[in-house]
Amino acid sequence: MRTAYSVETVRAAERELMARLPEGALMLRAAAGLAAVCAGLLARRRGRVYGSRVVLLVGPGDNGGDALYAGARLARRGAGVTAVPMDPERMHAGGLAALRAAGGRVAQAVPQRADLVVDGLLGIGGRGGLRPAGAALAERIPPGVPVVAVDLPSGVDADTGEVAGPAVTADVTVTFGAYKPGLLIDPGASRAGAVHLVDIGLELPEPEVEALQHADVAGLLPEPTASSDKYRRGVVGIVAGSAQYPGAAVLAVAGALRGGAGAVRYVGPAADSVLARYPETLIGPGRVQAWVIGPGLGEGRAGEVADVLAGDAAVLVDADGLRGLDPAVLRARTAPTLLTPHAGEAAALLGVSRESVEAGRLAAVRRLAERYGAAVLLKGSTTLVASGGVRAVRVNPTGTPWLATAGSGDVLSGLAGSLLAGGLSGADAGSVGAYLHGLAARRTGGPLLAHQVAEALPAAWRDTTHP
Ligand SMILES: NC(=O)C1=CN([C@@H]2O[C@H](COP(=O)(O)OP(=O)(O)OC[C@H]3O[C@@H](n4cnc5c(N)ncnc54)[C@H](O)[C@@H]3O)[C@@H](O)[C@H]2O)[C@@H](O)CC1
Ligand SMILES: Nc1ncnc2c1ncn2[C@@H]1O[C@H](COP(=O)(O)OP(=O)(O)O)[C@@H](O)[C@H]1O
Ligand SMILES: [K+]
């Protein structure tokens, strides 16, 4: 599991560790890790560190201090290092002295001839986007030169990934002690590039955000055993599709058939289309361990949603099924419930604008899970899964923007419903489903069709269980 921690948690852990270490020791550890990554990049780009040109963008706080001490290390290895301050009156004094002693210099304008730019403007102390002085420096980063962000790209909110104004876009981010949520959640995540974690010895409690890895997924996937039969593996029922949208039913069934359930049952008006494509499907009402309701349902089907929610099977509600959901009904349920809105549907469930959900995805998914007393999977460029009463929000590390194509969400709902039928909790079914779905999409490559994602699911499953 990859874990991420809020600024408050990181600062508390830092305070605790600093009390036991000589003054400045943590910053020197951070700077050593940062300098090593920069040296590696320079060596790859130019063959050596000696003679390369490094520009440091230096903010007023300790983030700038890290950059200055790392710059001093690079200068000692023969790099030409220039520090450009955001505010010449406020630069980390020790870092500046170290850089000067190593032969580095300070300039007021960003040199345009550079092999590497180090973004040390703002770290976890940054609030909001870059203000004009920092933004002016970021704008002058010469095009095509690799940018290494110190701790996080400046202007990205460490706790949420929000980008509230001008911000740096990095190729590499060297982060200290722990991943910050903003490095894993968009829009921040897409500003961070490849993230390197430098261990500075922090001892950390429960994370605020976590991301599954292959081994976690393999541990959660329901694999059949010698004593399995199709009923014990779980039956998933799909209530999806309409005369207008029969394809949604086919795609949800396509996902469900690859999610490990022993059987898939379809209930709805698209049975002919479903059977024509998947003769494995059982048709008509019957006992299931989990229902998926919503994809392509169209209008006027609220009664079916209410019936399914009144039952004692696990339920995944998606798309049209999410309209007008009553929090009290969901809260009263005892079996697992998983909601899978995209940002527009989440906005309707919360009574806010779509833009506010997009800008604050982490807060939105937490509020949804609390209000509805269910696990909630918020789809989008970084898919998040929250469940009420659980501290950590899961962020999905797989996927590709090619998934933004009609019908891919239907495949996901079938898949995650199948995992629910296999006995996973709402949060596990959602996060494992999103992981496999994203992996299958990456394997398929773009431009992709939703049914191809479903077809690539067995290979994605094997990637995680037999890497
Ligand atoms: N605390 C520690 O033990 C360690 C901290 N480290 C570094 O220290 C950083 C945090 O340092 P600081 O707490 O000094 O915070 P920052 O270096 O992030 O900068 C904070 C200062 O920038 C200004 N500022 C905030 N938002 C701004 C904005 N939008 N535009 C312009 N100026 C703004 C404020 O004056 C604020 O005091 C970490 O990100 C990390 O890089 C590392 O050295 C590792 C050890
Ligand atoms: N920019 C993006 N990058 C990565 N994945 C995306 C992006 N936009 C959408 N997705 C994913 O694509 C799928 C789209 O689902 P959804 O919005 O329900 O579409 P549909 O209802 O047409 O199937 C979700 O899994 C979502 O997380
Ligand atoms: K930074």
Ligand 1 centre from 233 Cα, in Å? 52
Q: Residues with Cβ within 5 Å of ion ligand 3? A: 119, 149-150, 154
Average pLDDT over residues 283-307: 97
Give Cα 350 distance to the centre of its chain.
21
Q: What residue owns the CA closest to ligand 2's atom 14? A: 409
Rounded Cα distance, 313 and 335, in Å: 6
The predicted-structure confidence for 98-120, as pLDDT tens digits, reads as follows: 999 999 999 999 999 999 999 99
Average pLDDT over residues 90-94: 97
Rounded Cα distance, 318 and 288, in Å: 18
Nearest alpha carbon to residue 54 among 9, 5, 120 = 120
342 labeled binding residue: yes
CATH code, 2-210:
3.40.50.10260
Ligand 3 centre from 115 Cα, in Å? 18
Looking at the predicted structure, is the pLDDT value of residue 215 above 90? yes
CB 57 within 8 A of CB 110: yes
Give the number of whichever ligand sits closest to the CA of residue 130. 1
Answer whether the bond into residue 447 is a cis peptide, omega within 30°: yes
Ligand 3 centre from 235 Cα, in Å? 50
The predicted-structure confidence for 407-418, as pLDDT tens digits, reads as follows: 999 999 999 999
Listed in sequence order, the residues at least 6 apart from 418 whose beta carbon sits closer than 8 Å to its beta carbon are 234, 236, 255, 256, 257, 258, 259, 260, 261, 264, 290
Domain ranges for the chain: 2-210, 214-465
Looking at the predicted structure, is the pLDDT value of residue 388 above 90? no
Pairing label, strands 384-387, 235-239? unpaired
Which of 381, 402, 405, 435 to probe ligand 2 with, by most ligand atoms within 8 A of CB? Answer: 381
In the structure, which protein residues have their CB atom closer than 6 angstroms to any atom of ligand 2?
A: 319, 342, 379-381, 383, 399-401, 403-404, 406-410, 412, 437
What pLDDT does 397 receive? 94
The predicted-structure confidence for 298-324, as pLDDT tens digits, reads as follows: 999 999 999 999 999 999 999 999 999
Q: Which CATH architecture has domain 214-465?
A: 3-Layer(aba) Sandwich (3.40)
Give the number of whichever ligand sits closest to the CA of residue 66. 1
What pLDDT does 229 receive? 85
